Amino acid sequence: MTQPLTATTAEGEARLPRIALVGVHGFGERHLENLARLSADRALELVAVADPQPPEDETLDPDVAVFASLDELLAAGTAPDVVIVSTPIQTHAPLALAALRAGANVYLEKPPVASMAQYEVLMAAAASAGSLVQVGFQSLGSEALPAIETLVESGEIGEVRGISATGQWLRSKAYFKRSRWAGKRSLNGIDVVDGVATNALAHAVATGLRLAGARTVADVESVDTDLYRANDTESDDTSVVRVRTADGPATTGGTVLTCALTLCAPVQSAPSVTIYGTLGQLTLFYTEDRLEVSSPQGVRTETFGRTDLLENLLAARTDQDLLSPLSASGAYVSVLEAIRTADEPQEIPSDFITWEGTGDAHAVVHGIESLIRRAALGQATFAELGAPWTMSGRPTLDVDGTPVATLQDGTNVRPTSSPRPYLHPVRTLAGTVVTDHLPEDHVWHLGAGVALQDVDGINFWGGRTYTRDAGAYVWRKDHGRIVVEAAENADGERREQLSWLGPDGSPVLREQREWRWAAVGNSAWKLTLDFALESATGRPVLLGSPGSNGRPQGGYGGFFWRLPKVGDATIWTPDSRGEDAVHGSVAPWLAWSGTFDAGHAGASHYVGDPGLGHPATLVFLAAPQAPDPWFVRHSGYPGVGLSVAWDAPVSTEPGHPVHRTVTVLIADGFLATQDIEQLITTLGESA
């Protein structure tokens, strides 16, 4: 057992803990301020510092010894009880090892090491020495953390659905030039692993992991990295790191933590960690120890105190007494190791960056604020969101050599959004984007495809489920997923066989789906979706909707197309005009025209100029198989669907599938009714 650091001299007098600080510049200056405070309180004695560049005169008391290195300090017989290491990342492990060999306890700045191999060596050395190692994740000293754990256990926000950590800071060019190792992944062959998640906003990751219950290496099941850089560096400055925790008593059972972080924000804001529950959510602004709770009881804010980690180390007798022990940093080091071994961060093209400020300017990535929010809400990477500076690598639909749509398999969609294949982005021939996916308002809306909220009680739509008993939308563990079992591609068409799987993985429906696409003149093309849903259970399966479960005018399900923001939208059928009149009606076609502000495939719409929209018209042709009502939303969010089960469920049986064919005309510019009817006639369809 480690003895308390306050001991007695041979004369029986109490002796204060002897502290040595390695690294007095940069963050070391913060340590000097804290040491001065604690020295004034007679809690410790600063006996020595070590730095190749000694502190300025009169910075230290005259009796504090100054050395050029830790080796010189230890060789002088200083014998500190605690060594504080506040030096470049690549020096943390060797300096900590030297301090442990000298018999000292260690306060080690974050990140504690630069690789998993170093972590394992350091853990073994600490155990062998019987010494304590505290890691400088100051946020883990917040009294908000145990309060949050108690609050979550109480059930006030329901069951945990996921956790996000977000940080939007700005750092200028000078930040990345402040030292030789800044912005480096390695230096002279030695790992550094600087970056937004491993250094600048490392506390966001560490705090998120702690609230997810992930402490050790074994607590982490997987780490996905999506790393980018806007600055002229080696390391990432704009990234998403997604962590799935492992099952086990020390975790919350497979929780997903999504860390969306940037040093290229337009303005700096307080970083935060949010826990999403089925009844509400809570957000900790960890730099302020401020907690905001939203639950059925209302919204409240509380500010907590914080325990200084050095004081905690001085009082600790065992590793279990530490608030941020090295042994509980294994989960964080797993994240660092995933970043260290990942491909080099992709460079964000200059078209998507604005440099702000004169002289020492800072980079701003276009649209980064919205992308950070969407990544957190949708548990998605920037690549999965389709940020324009990412490389999707997904197969595309081409019309006369022009890419007009991208196929998404949906495998990375979060489970509560009912993963499924879909098209996004869909574009006009001129490049205007006319779909959206993972939007902030409904992160389970996924481009153009097929989705149903009730298939024998299973949610294949995503989000909350409307139930007749509750008379409201509620979170349930009822989400299924749709997977592609086989696909055949030909010129202008794609045929797919899909399985609709329940929460337990058992097949509920089999689907035959066909996409067909072709040009219609010089400024329009047509997309046809033909799908047939058949029971895979050997018995009838009911296809339902919120409408069939008692929600008035809520009969969505089947074909659905989520639109991006559309300015000056006009929505009409041959007989009706406007959202209220068209919604729930039966008509041979529905048109939606306006200025599509989600914009062009280029960078312009991310600048935020409201005049940079592009005019387009979508014409949806009703399925010939049944008079399904149109589902239309505009005021809340922009979306169009054909409702298979408007106010009553529809049955599909083995050998008797539910079959629908929907065609969409996608045109640049504004079309009038006469133009639409002429186009439809040209296709050989009845107007």
Question: For 397-431, b where at least 16 C-beta lie within 10 A, e where not — what string?
Answer: bebeeeebbbbbbbeebbbbbbbbbbbbbbbbbeb
CA distances 476 to 303, 465, 480, Å, are 32, 7, 11
Question: What beta strand segments (E) does 195-331 contain?
Answer: 220-229, 238-245, 256-262, 272-277, 281-285, 290-295, 298-303
Top-level class of domain 140-375 = alpha beta
CA distances 325 to 26, 134, 476, Å, are 23, 5, 37
pLDDT of residue 683: 82
All residue ranges of the chain with pLDDT < 50 are 1, 3, 248-252, 599-611, 686-687
CB contact at 8 A, 373 and 440 = yes
Write down the H helix ranges in 285-345: 309-315, 330-341
The pair of structure tokens assigned to 495 is 């045929």
Could you tell me if residue 467 is left (phi over 0), alpha (psi between -120 and 50 degrees) or otherwise beta? beta
Q: How far apart are CA 206 and CA 610, in angstroms?
A: 38
Residue spans of the domains in the chain: they are: 7-139, 140-375, 392-682
Fold category of 7-139 in CATH = Rossmann fold (3.40.50)
Domain 392-682 carries which CATH code?
A: 2.70.98
- Residue labelled with tokens 């923001």: 565
The proportion of the chain whose per-residue pLDDT surpasses 70, expressed as a percent, equals 94
pLDDT mean across residues, the chain:
93
Could you tell me if residue 407 is left (phi over 0), alpha (psi between -120 and 50 degrees) or otherwise beta? beta
CB contact at 8 A, 338 and 223 = yes
Task: Classify residue 482 by burial, with Cβ atoms within 10 Å: 0-12, 13-18, 19+.
Answer: buried
pLDDT of residue 393: 78
Crossing angle of helices 202-211 and 330-341, in 10° steps, is 130
pLDDT of residue 605: 39
pLDDT of residue 607: 40
Q: How far apart are CA 198 and CA 628, in angstroms?
A: 53
pLDDT of residue 603: 35
pLDDT of residue 641: 98
Q: How far apart are CA 47 and CA 80, in angstroms?
A: 7
pLDDT tens-digit series, residues 568-593: 999 999 999 999 999 999 999 999 99
- Residue labelled with tokens 């007009």: 404
The pair of structure tokens assigned to 645 is 């089960």
Half-sphere exposure of 656 (CA within 13 A, CB side): 9
CA 614 to chain centre: 29
Q: How far apart are CA 182 and CA 625, in angstroms?
A: 63
Q: How far apart are CA 501 and CA 596, in angstroms?
A: 35
Residue 393, amino acid = G
Pairing of strands 589-596, 566-572: antiparallel
Task: Identify which of 78, 52, 74 has the alpha carbon closest to the alpha carbon of residue 64.
Answer: 78
pLDDT of residue 613: 75
Task: Identify which of 614, 610, 647, 612 has the alpha carbon closest to the alpha carbon of residue 628.
Answer: 647
The pair of structure tokens assigned to 639 is 């979306």
Q: Give this prediction's pTM.
A: 0.92
Task: Identify which of 597, 596, 594 has the alpha carbon closest to the alpha carbon of residue 569.
Answer: 594
Q: How far apart are CA 263 and CA 365, in angstroms?
A: 9
pLDDT of residue 606: 39
* Fold match flag (7-139 vs 140-375): no
